[in-house]
Structure 1
Amino acid sequence: MPNRFRRYQLNKTTEAVLRSGHPWILNGKLSSAISAFKDGDWVKLVSGANETLGFGIYSSTGLVGIRIIQRGKDFSLTELKKTISNAFDLRKPLLKNTDAYRLLHGENDLIPGITVDRYGKTWVVQTYSKSLRKFTRLVIRILYSIVSPLPEQIVWISPQRIGSEDSAPLRFIRGKKEIPYEENIFLDRVRWKTQIPGQKGGFFLDVRNLRLHILKKNELAGGRDCLHLFSHTGLTSVCIEAAGAKSITSVDGAKEALEEFSSRIDAPDEKLNFEEKNRIFTKGKHHLIRADLFKEWDFLGEKKFSLIVLDPPNLTPNQASVPAGKKAYRSLISKAISFLEPGGDLILLSCSGRILEPEFEKIGRETLESKGWKYKDLLKLKPEPDHPTRKEFPEGKYFKVHIYREMYPKDPEPKT
C-alpha cells in the first residue's frame, strides 16, 4: 500500500458514478486536473464539498480512468481483508465438486481489474492494467493468508487487453516450473489435465454451470449424437461423453486448442495434426474437426444431432461491434439448427458482455421463430458461486447459458 493517497476532486458526473456503486470512472469523464496524476497513483476521491467518498487507482491508458477499490471516509486494510475473505467464503461450496475455480472475480468481488483462478495446485493471477500491479501484490498477500489449500505455484499474467499497454511478461510469484506445464484437476466425476497458462489465456471456468448440468442431467446427452461448436480444449465435450453420449463431434478453429484436446484423449504416443481444415479425426466416441465456423459448415454433410452446444467467442469486443455481433449470433444459430434432429435440444452460450441477457434471449427466440422452430422449455442457467454478479455492475454479467428443450419444426401451414 502506498504511503499516501493523492487527493482528487470529483465533478458532479463522477461523484454520481461513485455514489451509484459502479466500480469504474471512465477516463473521458475525468476533469483536466487528472493530468497532474501518474499512472498507478492511488487517489482519495472527494466531493465538491470536500467530503471523502472513497479510494481508487488511476490508469492513464484505456477506457477506465479510476478503479474504485473502497468506499467511505477512510481506507481500511481490515475492510479489504474482509472483502477478500467474503469472496472466498462464497467459493467454499464448490470445493467438494472441483479443484478448479475462480478465487477472485474482479469487479464482481469488489477487487477491480484482478482475477485469480485455481487449477489444482496452481493459482493463475491476471491483472488487466499495469496501474494495478502494487494493488495485485497486496491482494495476493491477503488471499494467501486466508485460503486453504495453499498453492504450490502462483503464476502472474498481465494481459493488458485495454488501451495501448503492452503485455507484461509472465512471472512466478511463488514456486517455479517450466512453462507450459500441466495441472491435474477434477470436476465431479471427470478428471482432466489443463495447461498452464491456458489456450487463449484461460480455461473458461465460467462454463462449469453447463458442464455440471450436463453431468447431472444425463437426459441431455445420454445415448445421443452430440455436436459441440467452438469446443476449445474439449472439457465440455468430455463431460458430454461422461454423461453417456453416443458420439461427440467437436469443432473449433484453433489448431493449438484442438491439439491440446486430442492429447487428452489420444494414446500417449499419438499426436493428431490439425493443419488441414475440415478434416474429421475420430478417437473413440470423439470426432474432432478444425474449421472456420464463421465461413463454412459443409464438412458436417447431412449429419443430424440430438444435442447441439453453440459456444462462440466474444462477438462484441467493443460497442461499435454490437450490431455485427448480433448478426453473427443469428447466423450461427440459424446454421446450427439446420443440423438439429427434431425433438433435440439446443444450448446457446454467450460471453459477449455488451449483449445483455434479455437481448440474447430475444436473438435466440426470434431466430428460432424465423426459421420455423418451436421449443417446449427455455432454461437459463445461473452463474456458479465463483462468478458472482452485482446489480451496480451490469457489465459483469457477461456470461449466459440458455437451454432450449425439445425443439421441433413448426407444423406447415395448411393448404387453402
Structure 2
Amino acid sequence: MSRPERWIRLRGKPRGPRAFRRDLAETAPGLGAGDLTALLAADGDEILGWGLYHPSSQVAWRELRRGPEPPDEEWVRAAARAAAERRRRSPEIDERLCRVVHAEGDDLPALVVDRYGDLLAVELFSTAALPLARLALPELHEALGTRHHRLALDAAAARAEGEAAWVETSPGCPELVQVEEDGIRFEIDLRRGHKTGFFLDQRENRARLRRQVAAVEEAEVLDVCCYSGGFALAAAAAGAAAVTAVDLDEEALAMARRNANLNRSRSIRFVQADAFGYLRTLAANGRSFDFVVLDPPKFVPSRRERERGLARYHDLNKLALPLVRPGGLLLTCSCSGLLSALEFQERVRQAARRAGRTARLERLTGAGPDHPVRLDFPEGAYLKALWLRIT
C-alpha cells in the first residue's frame, strides 16, 4: 500500500479517536491546520483511519473516519444529516431546543452545534474543524428548517492553538433569543453567554430537580454557580418557598434576573458572591436547606491543573454538605471531561467524611440523549451529576 501525501504515525496503538502530540512518532512534512491526514500503523504503512491535523494543538489529530478510505465532502455532509435525523427521530429530544452535533459523539470532532428555535449556535474547539462547520451548516439548516447561525471559535481553544477567538454570523442573526423549556422561558444572550449561551446538557437534571422539589412542602433551595438561573427557576416553578441563587459572574446574574422576570418568579433571591466564601458565611449563620445544587465551572480543564481542580471539588462539596438538612438532597455536578465519574464520586465521598455527613447515592446522571458518547471516547461523558441523600 502506497503512503498518502499527508500522514502521521503514532508511537503505539491508537487509544481512541484522538492523538495527542506526545503520542506522535513522526509526521509528514508541511502539515497544516485542518489538513485531512492519514493515521499510519506504528509498524508499517497500513492506514488505520483519517482525521484532522493541527500543528499547534496538544490534540494533534482528531479522527473522522476509520479504515483506509478517506472521507470526502459528501461523507461530512452525510454525517451532519445523520446527526440531525437522530435528534428528529428520538421521542426523548425536543428538536427545537437541543444539541444537534456533539463532536466525536456524532463523528464530527471539535464541532458542537446547539439549536435554539430557528438559530444554530456553533462552537469550534479547534480551527481544524472549520471546514467541517462550513460543510455541515447548510445540511443542518435544510434538515431542521433553521434560518440563522452563529459560528464561534472557543476562546480557550484559540489560546491553546495560538489563534485569536472570532465570531461570524448569518445575515440578520439575532443576538438575543428566547426559548422555552418545560414551560419555563429563558433569554439566551449569544454575545455574553458561556459556551453556546445555554447549558442544554443539564436539561434532564433540571426537570428531575423540579420533580424532587415539588414533592417537598415549603422547600428551601440553594443553587450555587447558578449561571443563567436554570436550576433556580426549575425549583421556583416547582413551588419552592425560597430559592437562593449564587454566582460570582455579574453578567450571568443579570441573565438570571432577566429570566426570573420573564417567568414572574418572585421566590428567588440572587446573590453575587464567591461560592466558597458564601458557603462559609451561610454555615457561620446557621443556615440550612432542603436542596443544595452545586454546578461549578470546569475545575479540571487540563491535565496540568488536575490536582488543583480535584482539591476545589473536594472543598466546595465539603463546604456545601453541612448546609443540607437531614434527609435533604445534594445535587453536585462536574463538567470536567478529564475526571471520571468514579473519581468525582470519590472526592465527594472524602468531602462527606470530612464534613461528618453520610451521603447515599440515589442516582448518577449526565447529559441527555442529544449528547451521545462514543464508548472509545469516555471524555465525551463530561457531565456527571450525583444525587445524594444526606443524613
Both proteins in one fold, TM over 0.5: yes
Matches within 5 A, 1:158-307: 158-162=153-157, 163-172=160-169, 174-177=170-173, 181-201=175-195, 202-219=197-214, 223-266=218-261, 284-297=266-279, 299-300=281-282, 301-307=285-291
Partner of 1:140: 137
CA contact 1:221–1:307 (8 Å) conserved in 2: no
Q: Is the 8 A contact 1:45 1:55 kept in 2?
A: yes
Aligned equivalents of 1:226, 1:295: Cα separation in 2: 18
* Superposed structure 1 runs of 4+ greater than 4 Å apart: 76-79, 94-98, 218-222
CA distance in 2, matches of 1:288, 1:160: 28
What is the DSSP-based 3-state SS (H/G/I as helix, E as strand, rest coil) of the residue aligned with 1:303? coil
Retained in 2: the 8 A contact 1:379–1:404?
yes
Q: Distance in 2 between matches of 1:298 and 1:370?
A: 15
Q: Is the 8 A contact 1:104 1:114 kept in 2?
A: yes
1:84 to 80, 84, 99: 80
Matched position secondary structure for 2:129: helix
Per mean C-alpha deviation after superposition, the further-off stretch among 212-221 and 53-62 is: 212-221
Matched, 1:329 2:329: no
Give the TM-score of the pair, scaled to structure 1.
0.84
**Any gaps of 5 or more consecutive residues in structure 2?**
none
- Contact 1:352–1:398, Cα closer than 8 Å, also in 2: yes
Structure 1 stretches lacking a partner, 5+ long: 269-282, 409-416
Aligned-partner SS, 1:69? strand
Which position in structure 2 is the counterpart of 1:24?
18
Structure-1 residue corresponding to 2:6: 7
Aligned partner (choices 116, 121, 127) of residue 119 of structure 1:
116
SS in 2 for 1:378: strand
TM-score under structure 2 length normalisation: 0.89
Matched, 1:130 2:124: no
- 1:206 & 1:34 partners in 2: Cα distance? 39
The count of corresponding residues between Structure 1 and Structure 2 is 380
Alpha-carbon shift at residue 349 of structure 1 (Å): 0.5
Change over 3 Å in CA distance of 1:307–1:209 after alignment to 2: same
Cα distance in 2 for residues equivalent to 1:200 and 1:321: 21
Q: Is the 8 A contact 2:187 2:255 kept in 1?
A: no
Find 2:343's aligned residue among 344, 359, 375: 359
State the Cα RMSD in Å.
2.5
Measure, in 1, the Cα distance between the counterparts of 2:356 and 2:364.
Answer: 22
The residue type paired with residue 87 of structure 2 is R
Query: Once the 2 structures are TM-superposed, how far is the Cα of residue 84 of structure 1 from its aligned partner?
Result: 3.0
Structure 1's 266 and 83: CA in aligned 2 closer, same or farther, altered over 3 A?
A: closer
2:281 & 2:316 partners in 1: Cα distance? Answer: 15
Matched residues in 2 for 1:136 and 1:390: separation? 20
Conserved in 2, the CA contact under 8 Å of 1:221 and 1:240?
Answer: no
Return the index of the structure with the highest Cα Rg.
Answer: 1
Residue identity opposite 2:277 in structure 1: K
CA drift of 1:186 comes to: 1.3
Report the more deviating stretch, 41-50 or 350-359.
41-50
CA contact (8 A) 1:303 1:339 kept: yes
CA displacement, residues 35-82 of structure 1 (integer Å, 9 cap, x when unaligned):
421222222334454333221111011211111111122234454444
Give 2:384's aligned residue: 400
SS at match of 1:39: coil
Residue 159 to residue 221, structure 1, CA distance change in 2 (3 Å):
farther
Q: What's 1:36 paired with?
A: 30
Structure 1 residues 197 and 205: CA distance shift in structure 2, 3 A: farther
| Native 8 Å contact 1:311 1:350 kept in 2 | yes
Cα shift at 1:103: 0.5
